[in-house]
């Protein structure tokens, strides 16, 4: 295989995994923008949502098997409901110091991990892809067709989110309360409900990301840890709270990661990715797309 | 002169006396090896939380690489002991390497803060763990290092938990003493000024960068020491002990005890290590309960246990003072005020007067 083809192959693969990171990053950014709270349990929500969806898809826990699409929706909706519950729990945390948010949300993460362990077991499961997974050959670049489904679903979800935020009253209210809580409340927008919606959407996006990546990995209760951190990294690269930035950050991180593992070393992929992130943050702490601000006393 | 000295150091001296008494209790009680084992674990975590507390509670930085730094100390000691080095040498090397690596990790703190610093240190902490897992020739890879020799100073062998507890509690006391002196010195006061308002502190001529780096270096020093003890305590180490969860566990202990106080981390470490031991009997449900309790503690006791005690003390003291001076100020019952004062470890509920709130 020539060098150029290898690059193309890595980029396509990277964009596929990058879509998943983009969805997780969107969840982080959306919740941060509306509540000012970094939900460190996002990765654990992802894992939980994945298991919920797979329960329908694969007929776990004695349930019958459902079509992939219904299972996908069920996972998203159920995980969103958990998100609503979590918002109520975290509401008092939003005004506090970062370290409290960190420990509070991570406490929830520990719970979710171990509840999943309790319900579904820690062994892990292999998830069959919903379509036949024969690699197709596009001009010498070998691509798994499932990647296109991941990309298509991501595009659909991102467009759906954008329409929801800009075209519906609910979405406009959500953006208003993200911009200025007090004034939005004066205009009769139920800001707490909006926070709950943001949390639900964020959790739903996490579940979607997990379900999309499930056939590509070995699903176990620990998958949320590294996926959550990588999604957070993507959100930071794009500028935390910046939604288009989250998508770009996710895709970028996916490609970088795949290229590193293709060319340098697969066991040190994460190490290099984190070092790169450190450099990015030191050079541009506000993210690649963020505007520079001057801090006031 | 001596009176001023006494006034200034009265707090820390009292505190040190209390710590000494606490540390002597287990020794006096002639622990059996089961309890000595737990006391040793507590001592290790007290050192770790004190390091975390110096960087977070006093420095206002955030260091999520603590687990990784802990590992640096543990691996250094293990490797030196396995190559027939002596324990005192290994101990010193662990502390120094921890300090050095922490200072390097602290470099980004000069540029980034808050969530970003959390992420950078988190990433670098994980990076350390990745190195432990993959550098097989030196660290033994995922399996780790086994049969690490026992600690020995000269002919003194610390070969069981009871003997180790003398060493561990002694080291713990020394580190607490260093911390107490540190935070009450001029350096510590500048540090607190920096924590409360970075820009104002800089405007007052404090070289903020040096202080930030020193904080990190200190946390690494403590983590290195704790790691060194950990390696000889279990005589077995593997990368899973030094992952992100370890950092979070240390952070949780620091928060539960109360950040920015000297006694807080001690309480937090003892409570959470004890809790973990107790919950072992719940088997499968252990970690679910554990997670739930952490959430509850963070939601309910925001100043930590030490913050709660301070609030109680101030309430009692304030009541007495009010009785004498008859200060009657309008109670501020606003939710925001209560939350704010709770967050700084002040009075919760009741009617905090302005005097009390500035009193801490």
CB-nearest partner of B302 from A100, A108, A114: A100
Residue of A nearest to B124 (CA): A274
pLDDT at B339: 38
How many other C-beta atoms are found inside a 10 Å radius of the C-beta of residue A48?
29
B156 strand-pairing partners: B153
> What residues in chain A have per-residue pLDDT under 70?
1-2, 62-63, 94, 133, 285-297
How many alpha carbons lie under 13 Å from residue A153 in its C-beta half-sphere?
24
Residues A85, A20: Cα–Cα separation, whole Å: 24
Dihedral (Cα; A16, A269, A226, B69), 10-degree rounding: -160
Mean pLDDT score of chain B = 78
Residue that wins the pLDDT comparison between B201 and B360? B201
Which pLDDT does position B335 carry in this prediction?
37
- Asked if residue A199 lies in contact with residue A81, where contact means CB atoms within 8 angstroms, the answer is no
Q: In terms of pLDDT, which residue wins out, A223 or B227?
A: B227
Q: Do A99 and B251 touch (CB under 8 A)?
A: yes
pLDDT of residue B101: 93
What is the spatial distance between Cα B283 and Cα A136, in angstroms, rounded to a whole number? 48
Instruction: Count the Cβ atoms, other than its own, within 10 Å of residue A250.
Output: 30
Comparing alpha-carbon positions, the chain B residue that sits nearest to A270 is B127
Q: At what angle do helices A269-283 and A223-238 cross, to 10 degrees?
A: 30
Residue B329 pLDDT > 50, yes or no?
A: no
Nearest to B298 among A100, A115, A297 (CB): A100
User: What does the pLDDT look like over B86-110, one tens digit per residue?
Assistant: 888 999 999 999 999 999 988 877 7
Interface touch B111/A277, C-beta < 8 Å = no
The closest of A110, A81, A53 to A225, measured between CA atoms, is A110
Contacts of B343 in chain A (CB under 8 A): 96-97
CB atoms within 10 A of CB A190: 13
Residue B250 CA from chain centroid, whole number? 7
**pLDDT digits 0-9 by tens, B178-220:** 888 888 888 888 888 888 887 888 888 888 888 888 889 999 9
* Residue B271, pLDDT above cutoff 90: no
For chain B, say whether A295 makes contact (Cβ under 8 Å). yes
- Measured between CB atoms, does A119 come within 8 Å of chain B? no
The more confident residue out of B24 and A51 is A51
Say if the Cβ atoms of B120 and A277 lie within 8 Å: yes
User: What is the structure's pLDDT at A198?
Assistant: 87
Strands A141-143 and A136-138: antiparallel
Q: Among B224, B239, B230, which residue's Cα sits nearest to residue B130?
A: B239
User: Which residues of chain A neighbour B124 with C-beta distances below 8 Å?
Assistant: 274-275, 278
A222 CB within 8 Å of a chain B CB: no
Q: Chain B residue closest to A108 (CA)? A: B291
pLDDT reading at B312 higher than 80: no
Q: Mind telling me how many Å the CA of A21 is from chain B's nearest CA? A: 16
**Site from A35, A257, A268, A274 to mutate, B interface, most B CB atoms within 10 angstroms:** A274
Give the distance from residue A272's alpha carbon to the nearest chain B alpha carbon, in angstroms.
8
Shortest CA gap B130–chain A (Å): 7
User: pLDDT of A76-110, one tens digit each?
Assistant: 899 999 988 888 887 777 677 777 777 788 888 88
All structural domains of chain A: 3-123+142-283 (1.10.3470)
For residue A122, the 8-state DSSP code is S
**Residue B20: which H helix or E strand, with range?**
helix B2-28
Q: Does A110 touch chain B (CB under 8 A)?
A: yes
Record the tokens describing residue B316, joined without a space.
């009692």
Per residue in B147-189, pLDDT (tens digit) is 888 877 877 787 777 778 888 888 888 888 888 888 888 888 8
Residue among A107, A108, A233 minimizing CB distance to B119: A233
Q: Given pLDDT bands bounded at 50, 70 and 90, which one contains residue B11?
A: low
- B134 CA to chain A: closest CA distance, Å? 7
Give the model's pLDDT for residue B348: 34
Interface ipTM: 0.74
Distance of CA B299 to the CA centre of its chain: 20
Q: Quote the pLDDT of residue A150.
A: 86
B15 Cα to chain A: minimum distance (Å): 26
Q: Is the pLDDT of residue B350 over 50?
A: no
Residue B107, helix vs strand vs coil: helix
For residue B153, the cross-strand partners are B156
Closest CA to A193 of A224, A160, A171: A171
The set of residues, in sequence order, having a beta carbon less than 8 Å from that of B297 and lying 6+ positions away, is: B255, B256
Contact indicator for B95, B225 with CB cutoff of 8 Å: yes
Average pLDDT value for residue range B289-304: 76
Cβ atoms within 10 Å, residue B265: 33
Q: Which residues of chain B does A270 touch, with a Cβ-Cβ cutoff of 8 Å?
A: 126-127, 130
Q: What is the pLDDT at residue A32?
A: 84
Please determine, for residue B127, whether its predicted confidence score (pLDDT) is greater than 50: yes
pLDDT recorded at residue B277: 82
How many Å lie between the alpha carbon of B41 and the closest alpha carbon of chain A? 21
How would residue B263 be classed by pLDDT, with cut points 50, 70 and 90? confident
Q: Which residue of A has its CA nearest to B199?
A: A297
pLDDT at B180: 85
Residue B145 vs residue B230, higher pLDDT: B230
- B300: enclosing H helix or E strand: helix B286-300
Q: Which residue of A has its CA nearest to B335?
A: A92
Q: How far apart are CA A226 and CA A233, in angstroms?
A: 10
**Candidate from A100, A106, A275 with C-beta closest to B248:** A106
> Do A97 and B290 count as a contact with CB atoms less than 8 A apart?
no
Closest chain B C-alpha to A22 CA, distance in angstroms: 17
Give dist(CA B222, CA B220) in Å, integer: 5
Residue A220's pLDDT is what? 83
CA distance, residue A127 to nearest chain B CA (Å) = 26
Residues A43-62: pLDDT tens digits? 889 999 888 888 888 777 76
Residues in B whose CB is inside 8 Å of some CB of A read: 56, 62, 108, 111-112, 114-116, 118-120, 122-124, 126-127, 130-131, 133-134, 197, 199-200, 244, 248, 251-252, 255, 259, 284-288, 290-295, 298-299, 302, 339, 343
CA distance B235 to B239: 14
Q: Burial of B322 by CB count in 10 Å (0-12 exposed, 13-18 middle, 19+ buried)?
A: middle
The residue of chain A nearest to residue B337, with distances taken between CA atoms, is: A95
Looking at chain B, the whole-number percentage of residues with pLDDT higher than 70 is: 80
Tokens of A141: 């670049």
Interface A-B, measured as beta-carbon pairs within 8 A, has a size of 130
Percent of chain A scored above 90 by pLDDT?
5
Q: Do B251 and A113 touch (CB under 8 A)?
A: no
**Cα four-point dihedral sign A157, A108, B196, B181:** negative
The answer to whether A93 contacts B343, with C-beta atoms less than 8 Å apart, is no
- The pLDDT value recorded for residue B95 is 93
What per-residue confidence (pLDDT) applies to A147? 83
- CA–CA gap between residue A37 and residue A120 (Å, rounded): 30
Distances (CA, A) of B16 to B10, B48, B164, B175, B306: 10, 18, 22, 11, 16
A266 CA to chain B: closest CA distance, Å? 11
């Amino acid at each position: 295989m020539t060098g150029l083809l290898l690059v193309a192959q890595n980029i396509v693969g990277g964009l596929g995994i990058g879509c998943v990171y983009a969805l997780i990053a969107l969840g982080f950014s959306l919740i941060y923008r509306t509540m000012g709270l970094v939900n460190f349990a996002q990765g654990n929500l992802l894992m939980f949502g994945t298991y919920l969806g797979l329960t329908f898809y694969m007929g776990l826990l004695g349930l019958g098997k459902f079509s992939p699409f219904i299972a996908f929706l069920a996972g998203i909706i159920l995980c969103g409901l958990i998100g609503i519950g979590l918002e109520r729990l975290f509401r008092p945390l939003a005004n506090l110091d970062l370290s409290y948010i960190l420990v509070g949300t991570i406490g929830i993460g520990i719970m979710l991990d171990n509840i999943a362990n309790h319900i579904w077991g820690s062994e892990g499961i292999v998830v069959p892809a919903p379509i036949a997974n024969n690699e197709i050959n596009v001009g010498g670049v070998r691509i798994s067709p499932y990647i296109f489904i991941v990309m298509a679903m991501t595009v659909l979800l991102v467009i759906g989110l954008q329409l929801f935020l800009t075209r519906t009253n609910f979405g406009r209210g959500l953006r208003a309360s993200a911009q200025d809580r007090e004034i939005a409340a004066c205009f009769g927008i139920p800001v707490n409900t909006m926070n709950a919606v943001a949390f639900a959407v964020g959790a739903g996006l996490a579940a979607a990301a997990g379900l999309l990546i499930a056939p590509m990995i070995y699903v176990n209760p620990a998958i949320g840890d590294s996926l959550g951190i990588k999604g957070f990294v993507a959100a930071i690269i794009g500028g935390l709270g910046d939604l288009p930035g989250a998508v770009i950050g996710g895709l970028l991180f996916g490609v970088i990661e795949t290229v590193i593992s293709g060319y340098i070393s697969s066991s040190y992929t994460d190490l290099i990715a984190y070092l790169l992130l450190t450099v990015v943050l030191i050079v541009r702490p506000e993210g690649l797309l963020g505007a520079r601000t001057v801090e006031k006393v | 002169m001596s009176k001023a000295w006494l006034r200034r150091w009265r707090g820390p001296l009292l505190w040190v006396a209390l710590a000494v008494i606490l540390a002597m209790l287990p020794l006096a009680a002639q622990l059996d090896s089961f309890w000595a084992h737990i006391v040793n674990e507590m001592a290790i975590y007290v050192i770790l939380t004190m390091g975390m507390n110096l960087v977070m509670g006093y420095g206002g930085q955030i260091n999520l690489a603590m687990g990784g730094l802990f590992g640096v100390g543990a691996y250094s000691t293990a490797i030196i002991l396995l190559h027939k080095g002596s324990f005192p040498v290994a101990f010193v090397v662990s502390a120094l390497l921890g300090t050095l690596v922490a200072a390097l990790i602290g470099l980004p703190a000069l540029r980034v803060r808050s969530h970003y610093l959390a992420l950078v240190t988190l990433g670098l902490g994980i990076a350390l763990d990745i190195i432990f897992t993959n550098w097989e020739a030196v660290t033994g890879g995922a399996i780790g290092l086994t049969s690490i020799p026992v600690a020995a100073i000269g002919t003194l062998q610390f070969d069981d938990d009871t003997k180790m507890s003398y060493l561990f509690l002694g080291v713990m006391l020394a580190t607490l003493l260093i911390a107490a002196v540190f935070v009450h010195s001029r350096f510590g006061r500048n540090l607190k000024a920096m924590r409360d308002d970075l820009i104002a502190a800089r405007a007052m001529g404090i070289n903020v960068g040096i202080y930030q780096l020193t904080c990190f270096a200190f946390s690494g020093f403590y983590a290195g020491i704790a790691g060194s003890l950990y390696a000889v305590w279990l005589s077995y180490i593997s990368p899973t002990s030094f992952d992100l969860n370890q950092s979070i566990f240390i952070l949780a202990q620091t928060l539960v005890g109360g950040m920015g106080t000297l006694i807080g981390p001690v309480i937090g470490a003892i409570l959470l290590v004890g809790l973990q031991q107790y919950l072992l009997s719940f088997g499968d449900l252990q970690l679910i309960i554990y997670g739930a309790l952490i959430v509850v503690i963070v939601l309910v006791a925001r100043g930590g246990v030490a913050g709660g005690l301070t609030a109680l003390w101030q309430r009692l003291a304030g009541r007495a003072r009010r009785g004498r001076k008859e200060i009657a100020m309008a109670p501020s019952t606003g939710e925001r005020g209560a939350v704010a004062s709770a967050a700084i470890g002040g009075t919760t509920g009741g009617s905090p007067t302005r005097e009390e709130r500035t009193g801490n």
